[in-house]
Structure 1
Amino acid sequence: MQFLMLVCGEPEGTTTAVTEDDREAAPDVEQWWQSANDEGTYVMGERLRPATEAVTVRVRAGQVLRTDGPFAEVNEIVYGFDVLECDSMDEAVRIASGHPMAYAGVIEVRAMWPFDGGE
Structure 2
Amino acid sequence: MKYMLLIYMDENALSETEREHCYAESAQLAQELHTKGQFVATAPLHPVATATSIRVRDGKSLITDGPFAETHEQLGGFFLIDAQDLDEAIAIASRIPGAKVGTVEIRPVIEVAGLPAQS
Question: Distance between the aligned counterparts of 2:2 and 2:96, measured in 1?
Answer: 17
Q: How does 1:69-84 map to 2 (within 5 A)?
A: 69-84=66-81
Contact 1:5 1:110 in 2 (8 A): yes
Question: Distance between the aligned counterparts of 1:45 and 1:11, measured in 2?
Answer: 17
Contact 1:11 1:75 in 2 (8 A): no
Name the amino acid aligned to 2:4.
L
2:37 is aligned, of 36, 40, 43, to 40
Greater than 3 Å deviation, 4+ residue runs: none
Q: TM-score, normalised by structure 2?
A: 0.76
Report deviation, 1:11.
7.4
Question: Distance between the aligned counterparts of 1:32 and 1:92, measured in 2?
Answer: 13
2:88 is aligned, of 88, 91, 111, to 91
| Residue of structure 2 in register with 1:6 after alignment | 6
Q: How does 1:43-82 map to 2 (within 5 A)?
A: 43-82=40-79
1:31 is aligned, of 28, 31, 47, to 28
Alignment: residue pair count: 104
Question: Distance between the aligned counterparts of 1:100 and 1:62, measured in 2?
Answer: 41
Contact 1:43 1:84 in 2 (8 A): yes
Ranges in structure 2 where 5+ consecutive residues have no aligned partner = 13-21, 114-119
Structure number with larger C-alpha Rg? 1
| Residue of structure 1 in register with 2:15 after alignment | none
Contact 1:44 1:83 in 2 (8 A): yes
Q: TM-score, normalised by structure 1?
A: 0.76
Question: Distance between the aligned counterparts of 1:34 and 1:105, measured in 2?
Answer: 22
Contact 1:11 1:76 in 2 (8 A): yes
Question: Distance between the aligned counterparts of 2:11 and 2:52, measured in 1?
Answer: 22
Ranges in structure 1 where 5+ consecutive residues have no aligned partner = 13-25
State the percentage of identical aligned residues: 34
